[in-house]
Structure 1
Amino acid sequence: MDNFEKYTMRRKFVYIVLLLGIALTSWIYWKSNAEFNDTLIILKRKLYTIRDVSLQPLPTTCKSHPFLVIIVTSYVGHVELRSAHRRAMPAEELRKINATRVFLLAQIPDTEKYITQSAINDESKSFGDILQGTFKENYRNLTYKHLMGLKWASTTCRDASYILKVDDDTVYNLEKTYALLKSVNYSTPLLMGYMLNNTKPRRNKENKWYVTWDEYPRHEYPPYLSGWYYITTPQVAAALCDEAIYHPYFWIDDIFVTGLLTESLGIKLRELPDSFWLAYYELLECCLNDMIKKSIKCDYVVGPNGGRNNLIVEFNNAVRNCNNWGNCTIRTSDQELDKVCIAHKERQIFGDGGQAEVKYIKL
């Protein structure tokens, strides 16, 4: 073999190597891109959008461009709680302040024996305020339900001024909420509620909120808002739903939606004042009793119902009576709740551990 043939063979070998290298690089790029696209498709399937529902509210729910859209996370079997919300804040009362309300439900779980889908269908026909997803009720599916509500509100009610997200076992003062929103002045993306900082994942397997290192590989959650009650806008809600497509799914909904997603988007959370919240049901009972029996105003806005379904009705009725009759006085320093209603707070506010012991003291 002469030098020319050797040169020709070397060139062929180099070309072959180059072609193989190009082919391998293209295959790796295509493969990685395909996996990325497949991942997006899978994540998109995880988001229960407005199309992935079995029941929707009336088409006219947001026709009048409401000032406030209230989305209430509700377990499908909580018929009495939904009834209490409707009685505490009837649809006609909501219309007076240009507000509307929707309850977020999922499919009936196999273990549920006291509710049927036909009953939910009847409830939906009667009130027109049910948004039911195609996924099963489960606390690990709460993120789906949360995002479903935000997606619906930001799509169907995109012209609304505000979205209020609450849980069905939360008691809140609608009049003070409305007054707050009328006074809000914001120029940045709005996410406002009770902020939790420096919260750590539960690593005890016996805990209901146990999180594995695979599910969450960090030692601390970012700051987030309690899902009990927070305020945002359709624009921010839409951004959160869009961002969720690209973010690994996490099943603790308020941490995922108002913590991890806002961290990714760089949205700064805003905190409502401490005077807004009553962390314990017993404190709310004390405040309610003082309104009814002593005509002392209860200026707190949000609290838990402690398993008393009708408490939201009693609380809002007492607030209305105070306002309508004009006979309620402002709470004085010697009547402060921490003095007349003593709670031994053994758990962090909005936490999931420990119990509260409260004793009501008559003045």
Structure 2
Amino acid sequence: MALLRNRLKVMVTVMMINVFIFILIFRHSSQDKNRHPKVQIPTTTFWTKVTPSSAYWNLQQQILDLQDNPILLAYLNDTVMPDWLVDINLPSNPCQLNNKVTTQVKDYNSLPDRFKDFLLYMHCRSYPIVLDQPDICKSPPFLLLAVKSQVSHFDRRQAIRQSWGRAGVIANQTVVTVFLLGNATAWDYHPDLSSTLLDESARHKDIIQWDYRDSFFNLTVKEVLFLEWVQTRCPSARFIFKGDDDVFVNTYRILDFLKGLSEPKARDLFVGDVITDAGPHRDKKVKYFIPESLYIGKYPPYAGGGGYLYSGDIAARLYSSSEHVALYPIDDVYTGMCLRRLGLAPEKNKGFRTFDIEEKYRSNPCAYKSLMLVHPRTPQEMIKIWTWLSSPDLNCQ
């Protein structure tokens, strides 16, 4: 009898275990169904139709973005390639005139000549170098000062050499200075100063010149050519200041600022007088006028072209980014576009005064001691301010 009861207990226990296992399996199955619902297949095409922009720059950037998107480009190849995307090959080397823009830009004939010139050669970003300094960075500089200048601006270059752009060892750091020039053409009614420039280059060994028309809208060309030059001739420069030849730069203050940066901050450095929430000027009387036929939309944050400071690491990334951004006729805005493509934005620093300081402080030497850049200044003013800051008797406490 006892044996029968024991067998009955075992059977009941086994049945309860089986029921428990069944419940667990059922619950797991229900959860799995809830976690992985039935796959829904889209009834329409995933990619929407790519619509071309009405503004010429935006359209060119659209094309570049599509070229950089192999998935979308493959999809377009498998369907029907839009007509506006079919003929995207432009002459690049040598830089030939692109006459297609005369019909692609709706108001081309009514645009000022500077726009026509820019549009005809907008695709070109490779020009022969006329004057070079291949060994100027043989000893990698801590700070490279790159100054945008023009052939006729000898007085500005000389004042910079005698003041804030003095190359050598400053505050125990190696500083190298180069001047970036294009070609002054008879078209722009410039006198022929080529022989004078050759003499200047032979004497100072700091002139970099390319054979392209040196105009306001071609400052962007100077930008991309310089970025390429840095990667070729001066890739080990720790930091780079790039600015105009009518600014005063407090090199002492810049070196102090740079030496105080942490390594991560130094690597991603890009500082200046940052302009945000801006867009193109539509007033034809303004120097920075941009018609709607060329560009629509807002500008990304950008540092004013009077001068900004960035790391050598950022310079390399900017060069790579610039190959995927269509040339834009305003160089500082273009640099902001390249930064945005990298997922970066310039940082505002109150030491950069591209719109000058209050008039009552301009004759006070101590007003410049904490600043990194002031714009504009004449050659005479550059030398005077540098003399003030270099004096051991200057007391600004």
TM-score w.r.t. structure 1 length?
0.72
Q: Given that residues 302 and 345 in structure 2 are in contact (C-alpha distance below 8 angstroms), is that contact kept between their aligned partners in structure 1?
A: no
User: Can you list the C-alpha shifts for 1:309-329, whole angstroms capped at 9, x where unaligned?
Assistant: 2211111110011xx22x513
Matched residue, 2:385 = 315
What amino acid is the match of 1:198? D
Q: Given that residues 62 and 156 in structure 1 are in contact (C-alpha distance below 8 angstroms), is that contact kept between their aligned partners in structure 2?
A: yes
What amino acid is the match of 1:302? L
Q: Given that residues 250 and 368 in structure 2 are in contact (C-alpha distance below 8 angstroms), is that contact kept between their aligned partners in structure 1?
A: no
* SS of aligned partner of 2:364: helix
What amino acid is the match of 1:56? D
User: How far off its partner does 1:267 sit?
Assistant: 1.3
Q: Given that residues 171 and 303 in structure 1 are in contact (C-alpha distance below 8 angstroms), is that contact kept between their aligned partners in structure 2?
A: yes
Is 2:281 aligned against 1:206? no
Matched residue, 2:317 = 239
Residues 236/136 of structure 1: CA separation in 2 closer, same or farther (3 Å cut)? same
Matched residue, 1:55 = 131
Q: Distance in 2 between matches of 1:297 and 1:37?
A: 51
User: How far off its partner does 1:181 sit?
Assistant: 0.8
User: Can you list the C-alpha shifts for 1:98-156, whole angstroms capped at 9, x where unaligned?
Assistant: 11011000001223444511111111111111111111111010101122222212331
User: How far off its partner does 1:47 sit?
Assistant: 1.9
User: RMSD across aligned C-alpha pairs, in angstroms?
Assistant: 3.1
Larger-Rg structure: 2
Q: Given that residues 306 and 354 in structure 2 are in contact (C-alpha distance below 8 angstroms), is that contact kept between their aligned partners in structure 1?
A: no
Q: Given that residues 71 and 102 in structure 1 are in contact (C-alpha distance below 8 angstroms), is that contact kept between their aligned partners in structure 2?
A: yes
Q: Given that residues 272 and 303 in structure 2 are in contact (C-alpha distance below 8 angstroms), is that contact kept between their aligned partners in structure 1?
A: yes
- Name which of 265, 268, 274 aligns with 1:195: 274
Matched residue, 2:70 = none
Matched residue, 2:373 = 302
- Name which of 145, 149, 152 aligns with 2:226: 149
What amino acid is the match of 1:300? L
Is 2:150 aligned against 1:75? yes
Matched residue, 2:182 = 106
Q: Decide which moves more: 274-283 or 137-146.
A: 274-283
TM-score w.r.t. structure 2 length?
0.66
Question: Which structure 2 segments of 5+ residues have no match?
Answer: 1-76, 96-120
Q: Distance in 1 between matches of 2:202 and 2:375?
A: 29
Q: Distance in 1 between matches of 2:279 and 2:310?
A: 25
Q: Distance in 1 between matches of 2:252 and 2:213?
A: 34
User: How far off its partner does 1:195 sit?
Assistant: 0.7
- Name which of 251, 255, 275 aligns with 2:329: 251
Question: Which structure 1 segments of 5+ residues have no match?
Answer: 1-24, 331-363
Q: Distance in 1 between matches of 2:385 and 2:177?
A: 19
Q: Given that residues 69 and 153 in structure 1 are in contact (C-alpha distance below 8 angstroms), is that contact kept between their aligned partners in structure 2?
A: no
- Name which of 67, 84, 94 aligns with 2:159: 84
* SS of aligned partner of 2:363: helix
Residues 114/287 of structure 1: CA separation in 2 closer, same or farther (3 Å cut)? farther
User: How far off its partner does 1:69 sit?
Assistant: 0.9
* SS of aligned partner of 1:46: coil
Residues 275/145 of structure 1: CA separation in 2 closer, same or farther (3 Å cut)? closer
Q: Given that residues 277 and 303 in structure 1 are in contact (C-alpha distance below 8 angstroms), is that contact kept between their aligned partners in structure 2?
A: yes
Residues 279/44 of structure 1: CA separation in 2 closer, same or farther (3 Å cut)? closer
- Name which of 345, 352, 357 aligns with 1:268: 345
What amino acid is the match of 1:63? K
User: How far off its partner does 1:82 sit?
Assistant: 0.3
Q: Distance in 1 between matches of 2:236 and 2:166?
A: 22
* SS of aligned partner of 1:169: coil
Q: Given that residues 174 and 316 in structure 1 are in contact (C-alpha distance below 8 angstroms), is that contact kept between their aligned partners in structure 2?
A: no
User: How far off its partner does 1:281 sit?
Assistant: 6.3
Residues 117/60 of structure 1: CA separation in 2 closer, same or farther (3 Å cut)? same
Q: Given that residues 150 and 182 in structure 2 are in contact (C-alpha distance below 8 angstroms), is that contact kept between their aligned partners in structure 1?
A: yes
Q: Distance in 1 between matches of 2:171 and 2:178?
A: 13
- Name which of 211, 221, 224 aligns with 1:134: 211
Matched residue, 2:254 = 177
Q: Given that residues 273 and 303 in structure 2 are in contact (C-alpha distance below 8 angstroms), is that contact kept between their aligned partners in structure 1?
A: yes
Q: Distance in 1 between matches of 2:273 and 2:362?
A: 22
User: Can you list the C-alpha shifts for 1:256-310, whole angstroms capped at 9, x where unaligned?
Assistant: 01x11111221132221x2543632663xx545323xxx787422211134x222
- Name which of 302, 321, 326 aligns with 1:224: 302
What is the aligned-residue identity percentage?
A: 24
Residues 48/39 of structure 1: CA separation in 2 closer, same or farther (3 Å cut)? closer
Matches within 5 A, 1:311-350: 311-321=381-391, 324-325=392-393, 327-330=394-397
Is 2:359 aligned against 1:290? no
